Amino acid sequence: MLVAFTDMLCTVERYFWGQETSTEWWDHIVMQVWDDEQWVQNFRMRKATFMGLCEELAPTLRRKDTRLRAALTVEKRVAIAIWKLATPDCYRSVANQFGVGKSTIGIVLMQVCKAINRILLRRTVTPGNVQDIVAGFEQMGFPNCGGAIDGTHIPILAPPHLASEYINRKGYCSMVLQVLVDHRGHFIDINAGWPGKVHDARIFRNTITVGEIEMLTVILGDPAYPLMPWLMKPYTGSLDNSKERFNYRLRRCRMTVECAFGHLKGRWRSLYGKLDLAEHSIPAVISTCCSLHNICEGKGEMFTQAWTSEVQHLEAEFAQPESRAITGAQLLHFRMSIIRDGS
């Protein structure tokens, strides 16, 4: 009898999930019914762009079925991650939406982010044709310009360790994303993960390579950055007509980076939702959003005015710290560091 009972147990089909979950919404409504407008509103890209993204990530994200359960498809994994990035929804809400467990959402999110950063980041966040960038900025009024640089604060939950290092001048915890953009508002260089307390000039000093590289073009920054032969910033103080014209042209070109931040946060609203992740995981998520931003911009994906209004509402809650102009003592320290690091 014992042997017979054991054999019966071995033939019983096992289920991984402890409770029934529904995948009807994803399998039939989203994949079969939604049109491109609904895809853009919810996933920030058309279905064709989404499927192309899945195809590139498939070799890394595909999993095999087991006796305990059928593996999530690549398309569903990517959809879960993009939905989490595009909305301020909590993990439980996203889990209910896709009919998976709550813990699955965090796991899938990081799997997809790591895959995008490993496979697509260097291909999407790149200068491309420098001559086109220079020509684009020249049409906007500033010759020999290779990009505009700026930083933005991404709100996060207070880390369990050294939380004071992440508190910025507006009083909330954040990480800084520093970017260099081209004339179209595409990211051509990014650096994410510095604590919100760190000054823009320090981030700049530790992320921009100088050494033996000859800077053939200039980049444009705000007053927080140090003036250098290859970095232009606005004149301050009493200005004559020529300096006013210079500032006007510089500001006009620097609007590209402000618009890029607006589109980045408008599409990926999780960047304004105090990312509920360990601090070492957050830079990977921010980098993923930058890569997806470039993909969407490159594919000509629609960006609606309603998304801009949402960003403005969120910005009211998490205002960006004002730019702090680098002082004379800081500039001297900065230059000495450049000389020391270059030697």
Instruction: State the CB neighbour count (10 A cutoff) for residue 210.
Output: 14
Which residues have CB under 8 Å from 231's CB, separation 6+? Answer: 149, 218, 219, 220, 221, 225
Counting every residue written for the chain, the total comes to 343
C-alpha 162/C-alpha 117 separation (Å) is 27
Q: What is the mean pLDDT of the chain?
A: 85
Q: Per-domain residue ranges for the chain?
A: 19-119, 127-342
- 270 pLDDT band (50/70/90 cuts)? very high
Given a cut of 50, whether residue 336 has pLDDT beyond it is no
pLDDT in tens, 190-239: 999 899 988 887 787 776 553 333 456 899 999 988 888 889 999 998 99
pLDDT in tens, 34-86: 999 999 999 999 999 999 999 999 999 998 878 777 889 999 999 999 999 99
C-alpha 7/C-alpha 17 separation (Å) is 23
- Least Cα distance to 100 among 11, 8, 5, 20 occurs for 20
- Looking up tokens 């500039």 gives 331
pLDDT in tens, 277-302: 888 999 999 999 999 999 999 999 99
Whole-angstrom CA distances from 334 to 203, 205, 323, 328 are 11, 7, 17, 10
Residue 271 has a pLDDT of: 92
Given a cut of 70, whether residue 1 has pLDDT beyond it is no
Given a cut of 80, whether residue 6 has pLDDT beyond it is no
Whole-angstrom CA distances from 181 to 137, 229, 296 are 11, 19, 15
C-alpha 17/C-alpha 14 separation (Å) is 9
pTM (predicted TM-score): 0.85
